[in-house]
Protein backbone atom coordinates (compact mmCIF):
# COMPACT_ATOMS: atom_id res chain seq x y z
CA UNK A 1 0.00 0.00 0.00
CA UNK A 2 1.39 3.39 -1.02
CA UNK A 3 1.11 6.05 1.69
CA UNK A 4 2.02 9.74 1.93
CA UNK A 5 4.97 8.72 4.10
CA UNK A 6 6.45 6.99 1.05
CA UNK A 7 6.40 10.14 -1.08
CA UNK A 8 5.99 13.39 0.89
CA UNK A 9 9.07 15.21 2.16
CA UNK A 10 9.79 14.37 5.82
CA UNK A 11 9.81 18.04 6.83
CA UNK A 12 6.37 18.51 5.26
CA UNK A 13 5.06 15.43 7.07
CA UNK A 14 6.25 16.97 10.34
CA UNK A 15 4.50 20.30 9.68
CA UNK A 16 1.03 21.37 10.73
CA UNK A 17 -1.31 23.35 8.49
CA UNK A 18 -1.63 27.11 8.99
CA UNK A 19 -4.17 27.36 11.84
CA UNK A 20 -7.38 29.25 11.10
CA UNK A 21 -9.92 28.72 13.91
CA UNK A 22 -13.64 28.50 13.19
CA UNK A 23 -15.01 31.91 14.20
CA UNK A 24 -18.70 31.06 13.78
CA UNK A 25 -20.62 32.72 16.60
CA UNK A 26 -17.57 34.54 17.95
CA UNK A 27 -16.63 38.19 18.19
CA UNK A 28 -13.76 37.83 15.70
CA UNK A 29 -10.78 39.93 16.78
CA UNK A 30 -7.90 37.62 15.92
CA UNK A 31 -6.99 38.24 12.26
CA UNK A 32 -6.57 42.02 11.86
CA UNK A 33 -9.46 42.34 9.43
CA UNK A 34 -11.30 45.57 8.78
CA UNK A 35 -14.59 44.97 10.65
CA UNK A 36 -16.66 47.36 8.53
CA UNK A 37 -18.65 46.07 5.53
CA UNK A 38 -19.06 48.17 2.41
CA UNK A 39 -21.93 50.68 2.56
CA UNK A 40 -25.10 49.04 1.23
CA UNK A 41 -25.38 51.25 -1.84
CA UNK A 42 -21.74 50.68 -2.80
CA UNK A 43 -22.09 46.92 -2.23
CA UNK A 44 -25.13 46.87 -4.51
CA UNK A 45 -23.25 48.71 -7.27
CA UNK A 46 -20.33 46.32 -6.85
CA UNK A 47 -22.72 43.39 -7.23
CA UNK A 48 -24.04 44.82 -10.48
CA UNK A 49 -20.49 45.32 -11.68
CA UNK A 50 -19.49 41.73 -10.85
CA UNK A 51 -22.59 40.38 -12.56
CA UNK A 52 -21.06 41.43 -15.87
CA UNK A 53 -17.83 39.49 -15.37
CA UNK A 54 -17.17 36.69 -17.88
CA UNK A 55 -16.73 33.73 -15.55
CA UNK A 56 -16.22 31.40 -18.51
CA UNK A 57 -12.95 33.09 -19.48
CA UNK A 58 -9.53 32.88 -17.90
CA UNK A 59 -8.42 36.10 -16.20
CA UNK A 60 -5.86 38.36 -17.79
CA UNK A 61 -2.45 37.23 -16.46
CA UNK A 62 -1.25 40.83 -16.31
CA UNK A 63 -4.36 43.06 -16.14
CA UNK A 64 -2.78 46.27 -17.41
CA UNK A 65 -5.76 48.56 -16.68
CA UNK A 66 -6.00 47.34 -13.08
CA UNK A 67 -2.25 47.63 -12.59
CA UNK A 68 -2.23 51.18 -13.96
CA UNK A 69 -5.10 52.14 -11.68
CA UNK A 70 -3.35 50.55 -8.70
CA UNK A 71 -0.09 52.37 -9.46
CA UNK A 72 -1.92 55.70 -9.65
CA UNK A 73 -4.04 55.16 -6.54
CA UNK A 74 -1.15 53.94 -4.39
CA UNK A 75 1.32 56.50 -5.75
CA UNK A 76 3.82 53.98 -7.04
CA UNK A 77 6.86 55.84 -8.43
CA UNK A 78 6.86 56.18 -12.23
CA UNK A 79 10.11 54.22 -12.57
CA UNK A 80 8.57 51.24 -10.75
CA UNK A 81 6.24 48.48 -11.88
CA UNK A 82 3.82 46.31 -9.89
CA UNK A 83 3.42 42.54 -9.66
CA UNK A 84 0.10 41.11 -8.42
CA UNK A 85 -0.28 38.18 -6.06
CA UNK A 86 -3.08 36.15 -4.51
CA UNK A 87 -2.56 38.07 -1.27
CA UNK A 88 0.88 38.90 0.09
CA UNK A 89 1.37 35.23 0.96
CA UNK A 90 1.72 34.27 -2.70
CA UNK A 91 4.18 37.11 -3.31
CA UNK A 92 6.31 35.94 -0.38
CA UNK A 93 6.28 32.46 -1.88
CA UNK A 94 7.20 33.73 -5.36
CA UNK A 95 10.11 35.84 -4.12
CA UNK A 96 11.44 33.02 -1.95
CA UNK A 97 11.13 30.47 -4.75
CA UNK A 98 12.86 32.70 -7.28
CA UNK A 99 15.78 33.29 -4.92
CA UNK A 100 16.14 29.69 -3.70
CA UNK A 101 19.60 28.94 -5.04
CA UNK A 102 21.38 26.02 -3.33
CA UNK A 103 22.59 27.25 0.05
CA UNK A 104 20.55 30.46 -0.09
CA UNK A 105 19.24 32.06 3.09
CA UNK A 106 16.54 34.58 3.96
CA UNK A 107 16.61 36.79 7.02
CA UNK A 108 14.07 38.74 9.08
CA UNK A 109 13.67 40.23 12.56
CA UNK A 110 11.80 37.99 15.00
CA UNK A 111 9.15 37.85 16.24
CA UNK A 112 7.65 38.71 12.88
CA UNK A 113 5.20 37.50 10.24
CA UNK A 114 5.25 33.70 10.29
CA UNK A 115 4.97 33.27 6.51
CA UNK A 116 8.52 34.52 5.94
CA UNK A 117 9.86 31.45 7.75
CA UNK A 118 7.13 29.14 6.44
CA UNK A 119 7.81 30.03 2.80
CA UNK A 120 11.52 29.50 3.38
CA UNK A 121 10.78 26.03 4.72
CA UNK A 122 8.57 25.20 1.74
CA UNK A 123 11.34 26.30 -0.66
CA UNK A 124 14.00 24.47 1.41
CA UNK A 125 15.81 27.72 2.08
CA UNK A 126 17.38 28.45 5.47
CA UNK A 127 15.58 31.09 7.54
CA UNK A 128 17.64 33.29 9.86
CA UNK A 129 15.72 35.13 12.58
CA UNK A 130 17.33 38.09 14.34
CA UNK A 131 15.67 38.89 17.70
CA UNK A 132 14.28 42.35 18.25
CA UNK A 133 15.16 44.39 21.31
CA UNK A 134 13.05 43.80 24.43
CA UNK A 135 10.95 46.86 23.53
CA UNK A 136 10.39 45.39 20.04
CA UNK A 137 12.55 47.97 18.28
CA UNK A 138 15.03 46.81 15.66
CA UNK A 139 18.36 45.59 17.03
CA UNK A 140 20.15 47.22 14.15
CA UNK A 141 23.65 46.19 15.22
CA UNK A 142 22.57 42.54 15.44
CA UNK A 143 20.81 42.85 12.07
CA UNK A 144 23.91 44.25 10.37
CA UNK A 145 26.10 41.59 11.97
CA UNK A 146 23.72 38.83 10.83
CA UNK A 147 23.63 40.25 7.30
CA UNK A 148 27.41 40.21 7.15
CA UNK A 149 27.65 36.69 8.58
CA UNK A 150 24.86 34.96 6.64
CA UNK A 151 24.81 36.99 3.41
CA UNK A 152 21.11 36.36 2.84
CA UNK A 153 19.50 36.54 -0.57
CA UNK A 154 16.38 38.22 0.82
CA UNK A 155 15.70 40.31 3.92
CA UNK A 156 12.05 40.65 4.99
CA UNK A 157 11.13 43.74 6.96
CA UNK A 158 7.54 44.34 8.05
CA UNK A 159 6.75 48.07 8.40
CA UNK A 160 4.97 48.10 10.82
CA UNK A 161 5.77 44.72 12.26
CA UNK A 162 3.30 41.94 12.97
CA UNK A 163 2.56 40.94 15.73
CA UNK A 164 4.24 43.77 17.64
CA UNK A 165 2.86 46.78 15.73
CA UNK A 166 6.28 48.43 15.80
CA UNK A 167 7.24 51.00 13.19
CA UNK A 168 11.02 50.63 12.89
CA UNK A 169 13.15 53.78 12.74
CA UNK A 170 13.91 55.04 9.23
CA UNK A 171 17.57 55.60 10.09
CA UNK A 172 17.90 51.94 11.13
CA UNK A 173 16.24 50.79 7.93
CA UNK A 174 18.59 52.92 5.83
CA UNK A 175 21.58 51.36 7.60
CA UNK A 176 20.14 47.91 6.97
CA UNK A 177 19.55 48.62 3.27
CA UNK A 178 23.16 49.76 2.93
CA UNK A 179 24.43 46.63 4.69
CA UNK A 180 22.22 44.49 2.45
CA UNK A 181 23.64 46.17 -0.66
CA UNK A 182 27.11 45.24 0.56
CA UNK A 183 26.26 41.53 0.34
CA UNK A 184 23.96 41.80 -2.72
CA UNK A 185 20.78 41.13 -0.73
CA UNK A 186 17.28 42.22 -1.68
CA UNK A 187 15.24 44.04 0.99
CA UNK A 188 11.49 43.52 0.85
CA UNK A 189 9.64 46.14 2.92
CA UNK A 190 6.25 44.67 3.82
CA UNK A 191 3.70 47.46 4.27
CA UNK A 192 0.59 45.33 4.88
CA UNK A 193 -0.63 47.76 7.56
CA UNK A 194 0.18 50.99 5.74
CA UNK A 195 -3.43 52.31 5.97
CA UNK A 196 -2.97 52.46 9.74
CA UNK A 197 0.69 53.46 9.90
CA UNK A 198 0.37 56.35 7.43
CA UNK A 199 4.11 56.15 6.85
CA UNK A 200 5.60 54.43 3.85
CA UNK A 201 8.69 53.65 1.83
CA UNK A 202 6.68 53.49 -1.39
CA UNK A 203 7.88 56.88 -2.64
CA UNK A 204 11.46 55.60 -2.30
CA UNK A 205 10.84 52.20 -3.91
CA UNK A 206 12.84 53.18 -7.00
CA UNK A 207 15.58 55.00 -5.10
CA UNK A 208 17.54 51.86 -4.16
CA UNK A 209 18.61 49.09 -6.50
CA UNK A 210 18.00 46.43 -3.82
CA UNK A 211 14.59 47.44 -2.37
CA UNK A 212 11.03 46.48 -3.28
CA UNK A 213 7.84 47.35 -1.36
CA UNK A 214 5.05 44.84 -0.77
CA UNK A 215 1.46 45.68 0.17
CA UNK A 216 -1.94 44.03 0.36
CA UNK A 217 -5.50 45.26 -0.01
CA UNK A 218 -6.57 42.88 2.77
CA UNK A 219 -6.10 45.27 5.69
CA UNK A 220 -7.70 48.10 3.74
CA UNK A 221 -10.98 46.23 4.05
CA UNK A 222 -10.77 43.74 1.18
CA UNK A 223 -9.35 40.62 2.84
CA UNK A 224 -11.90 38.47 1.03
CA UNK A 225 -10.67 39.25 -2.48
CA UNK A 226 -7.04 38.25 -1.76
CA UNK A 227 -5.01 40.82 -3.67
CA UNK A 228 -1.45 41.73 -2.83
CA UNK A 229 1.10 43.62 -4.89
CA UNK A 230 4.82 44.17 -5.08
CA UNK A 231 6.24 47.50 -6.28
CA UNK A 232 9.79 47.99 -7.43
CA UNK A 233 12.16 48.36 -10.34
CA UNK A 234 11.12 46.33 -13.38
CA UNK A 235 14.47 44.51 -13.37
CA UNK A 236 13.33 42.71 -10.19
CA UNK A 237 9.67 42.29 -10.97
CA UNK A 238 10.33 40.82 -14.41
CA UNK A 239 12.23 37.97 -12.76
CA UNK A 240 9.64 37.31 -10.04
CA UNK A 241 6.94 37.30 -12.71
CA UNK A 242 8.54 34.19 -14.19
CA UNK A 243 7.51 32.09 -11.16
CA UNK A 244 4.04 33.62 -10.87
CA UNK A 245 1.37 30.97 -11.45
CA UNK A 246 -0.58 31.67 -14.65
CA UNK A 247 -3.93 33.37 -14.14
CA UNK A 248 -3.20 33.79 -10.42
CA UNK A 249 -5.62 36.72 -9.92
CA UNK A 250 -9.16 35.55 -10.65
CA UNK A 251 -11.64 37.60 -12.65
CA UNK A 252 -13.85 38.47 -9.66
CA UNK A 253 -10.87 39.78 -7.69
CA UNK A 254 -9.70 41.84 -10.66
CA UNK A 255 -13.16 43.29 -11.22
CA UNK A 256 -13.77 44.02 -7.52
CA UNK A 257 -10.38 45.67 -7.07
CA UNK A 258 -10.76 47.80 -10.18
CA UNK A 259 -14.20 48.96 -9.04
CA UNK A 260 -13.21 49.68 -5.44
CA UNK A 261 -10.04 51.56 -6.34
CA UNK A 262 -12.44 54.22 -7.61
CA UNK A 263 -13.96 54.39 -4.12
CA UNK A 264 -10.87 54.49 -1.94
CA UNK A 265 -12.37 57.39 -0.01
CA UNK A 266 -14.80 54.94 1.64
CA UNK A 267 -12.01 52.55 2.67
CA UNK A 268 -9.74 55.41 3.78
CA UNK A 269 -12.53 56.74 6.01
CA UNK A 270 -12.89 53.32 7.59
CA UNK A 271 -9.12 53.18 8.19
CA UNK A 272 -9.28 56.61 9.88
CA UNK A 273 -12.07 55.35 12.14
CA UNK A 274 -9.97 52.32 13.07
CA UNK A 275 -6.96 54.51 13.86
CA UNK A 276 -9.11 56.53 16.24
CA UNK A 277 -10.53 53.32 17.70
CA UNK A 278 -7.00 51.97 18.20
CA UNK A 279 -6.01 54.97 20.32
CA UNK A 280 -9.16 54.74 22.43
CA UNK A 281 -8.89 50.98 22.88
CA UNK A 282 -5.21 51.22 23.83
CA UNK A 283 -5.98 53.81 26.49
CA UNK A 284 -8.83 51.75 27.94
CA UNK A 285 -6.90 48.46 27.98
CA UNK A 286 -3.89 50.17 29.59
CA UNK A 287 -6.07 51.05 32.59
CA UNK A 288 -6.69 47.39 33.38
CA UNK A 289 -4.63 45.88 36.21
CA UNK A 290 -1.42 44.06 35.36
CA UNK A 291 -1.53 44.99 31.66
CA UNK A 292 1.14 46.46 29.37
CA UNK A 293 0.02 47.82 25.99
CA UNK A 294 2.69 48.28 23.34
CA UNK A 295 2.51 51.17 20.89
CA UNK A 296 1.08 50.01 17.59
CA UNK A 297 1.03 51.41 14.07
CA UNK A 298 -1.26 48.61 12.85
CA UNK A 299 -4.97 47.90 13.32
CA UNK A 300 -4.19 45.74 16.35
CA UNK A 301 -2.65 45.95 19.80
CA UNK A 302 -0.03 43.71 21.35
CA UNK A 303 -0.86 43.41 25.04
CA UNK A 304 1.10 41.71 27.82
CA UNK A 305 -1.13 40.23 30.51
CA UNK A 306 -0.39 38.28 33.72
CA UNK A 307 -1.41 34.94 32.17
CA UNK A 308 -1.96 34.87 28.40
CA UNK A 309 -3.37 31.31 28.13
CA UNK A 310 -5.87 32.02 30.91
CA UNK A 311 -6.95 35.31 29.32
CA UNK A 312 -7.30 33.65 25.92
CA UNK A 313 -9.32 30.73 27.28
CA UNK A 314 -11.60 32.96 29.35
CA UNK A 315 -12.26 35.25 26.40
CA UNK A 316 -12.99 32.17 24.30
CA UNK A 317 -15.60 31.13 26.85
CA UNK A 318 -17.11 34.59 26.48
CA UNK A 319 -17.22 34.02 22.68
CA UNK A 320 -14.47 36.56 22.00
CA UNK A 321 -11.69 35.35 19.70
CA UNK A 322 -8.27 37.01 19.98
CA UNK A 323 -4.78 35.72 19.15
CA UNK A 324 -2.60 34.13 21.81
CA UNK A 325 0.94 34.85 20.58
CA UNK A 326 2.67 34.04 23.86
CA UNK A 327 4.35 30.89 22.52
CA UNK A 328 5.47 32.31 19.18
CA UNK A 329 8.73 33.71 20.57
CA UNK A 330 10.28 34.23 24.03
CA UNK A 331 9.99 38.02 23.63
CA UNK A 332 6.20 37.58 23.39
CA UNK A 333 5.81 35.84 26.75
CA UNK A 334 2.27 36.33 28.10
CA UNK A 335 1.25 38.46 25.13
CA UNK A 336 -2.06 38.45 23.28
CA UNK A 337 -2.91 40.35 20.11
CA UNK A 338 -6.19 42.23 19.89
CA UNK A 339 -7.62 43.36 16.57
CA UNK A 340 -9.28 46.79 16.67
CA UNK A 341 -12.96 46.26 15.91
CA UNK A 342 -16.02 48.44 15.52
CA UNK A 343 -16.88 50.71 18.45
CA UNK A 344 -19.45 48.16 19.67
CA UNK A 345 -16.98 45.28 19.31
CA UNK A 346 -14.34 47.22 21.24
CA UNK A 347 -16.85 47.81 24.05
CA UNK A 348 -17.63 44.08 24.18
CA UNK A 349 -13.93 43.21 24.19
CA UNK A 350 -13.24 45.62 27.05
CA UNK A 351 -16.13 44.27 29.06
CA UNK A 352 -14.82 40.72 28.65
CA UNK A 353 -11.24 41.77 29.54
CA UNK A 354 -12.46 43.53 32.68
CA UNK A 355 -14.06 40.31 33.86
CA UNK A 356 -10.81 38.42 33.29
CA UNK A 357 -8.40 41.02 34.66
CA UNK A 358 -10.17 41.89 37.88
Q: 135-144 pLDDT, tens per residue?
A: 999 999 999 9
Whether 246 and 293 map to the same domain: the answer is no
Percent of the chain with pLDDT over 70: 100
Residue 237, CB half-sphere, CA atoms under 13 Å: how many?
19
CB atoms within 10 A of CB 243: 14
Residue 193 near residue 219, CB atoms below 8 Å: yes
**Residue that is last in its domain, among 200, 231, 263:** 263
Number of domains making up the chain: 2
Whether 74 and 204 map to the same domain: the answer is yes
Whether 28 and 152 map to the same domain: the answer is no
Average pLDDT rounded to a whole number, residues 288-311? 97
> Considering only CA atoms, which of 269, 310, 271, 301 is closest in space to residue 283?
301
Strand partners, 213: 189, 231
Question: What is the rounded average pLDDT for all residues in the chain?
Answer: 96
Whether the per-residue pLDDT at 84 is higher than 80: the answer is yes
Q: Supply the CATH number for residue 247's domain.
A: 3.40.640.10
Q: Supply the CATH number for residue 8's domain.
A: 3.90.1150.10
Whether the per-residue pLDDT at 179 is higher than 90: the answer is yes
Q: Is 0.85 topped by the overall pTM?
A: yes
Torsion over CA: 336, 298, 162, 111 (sign): negative
Average pLDDT rounded to a whole number, residues 261-286? 97
> Considering only CA atoms, which of 92, 90, 94, 84 is closest in space to residue 117?
92
Whether the per-residue pLDDT at 154 is higher than 80: the answer is yes
Q: What is the pLDDT of residue 331?
A: 98
N- to C-terminal Cα separation, the chain: 57
Average pLDDT rounded to a whole number, residues 29-56? 96
Q: 121 lies in which domain range?
A: 58-263
Pairing mode, strands 335-339 and 292-293: unpaired
Q: Is residue 131 part of a domain?
A: yes
Q: What is the pLDDT of residue 22?
A: 83
Where does the pLDDT of residue 15 fall: very low under 50, low under 70, confident under 90, or very high at 90 and above? confident
Whether 109 and 249 map to the same domain: the answer is yes
Residue 156 near residue 125, CB atoms below 8 Å: no
Q: What is the pLDDT of residues 102-121, one digit of tens each?
A: 999 999 999 999 999 999 99
Q: Is residue 52 part of a domain?
A: no
Average pLDDT rounded to a whole number, residues 341-352? 96
CA dist 254 and 272 (Å) reads 25
Cβ partners under 8 Å of residue 204, min gap 6: 77, 211
Whether the per-residue pLDDT at 358 is higher than 80: the answer is no
Whether the per-residue pLDDT at 307 is higher than 90: the answer is yes
Whether 326 and 245 map to the same domain: the answer is no
Strand partners, 110: 131
Q: Is residue 46 part of a domain?
A: no
Percent of the chain with pLDDT over 90: 94
Q: What is the pLDDT of residue 18?
A: 83
Whether 119 and 230 map to the same domain: the answer is yes
Residue 90, CB half-sphere, CA atoms under 13 Å: how many?
18
Torsion over CA: 246, 87, 172, 71 (sign): positive
Cβ partners under 8 Å of residue 141, min gap 6: none
Q: What is the pLDDT of residue 90?
A: 98
**Residue that is last in its domain, among 230, 263, 296:** 263
Amino acid sequence: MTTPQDIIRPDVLAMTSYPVPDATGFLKLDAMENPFPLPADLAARLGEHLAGVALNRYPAPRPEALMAKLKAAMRVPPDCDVLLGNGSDEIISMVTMACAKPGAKVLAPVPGFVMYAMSAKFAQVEFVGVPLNADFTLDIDAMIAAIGEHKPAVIWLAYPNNPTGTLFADADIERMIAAAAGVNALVVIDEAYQPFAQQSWMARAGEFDNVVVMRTMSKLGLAGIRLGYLAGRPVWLNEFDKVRPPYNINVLTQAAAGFLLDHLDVLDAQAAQLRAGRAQLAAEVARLPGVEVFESAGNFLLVRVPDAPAVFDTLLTARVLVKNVSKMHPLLANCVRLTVGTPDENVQLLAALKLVLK
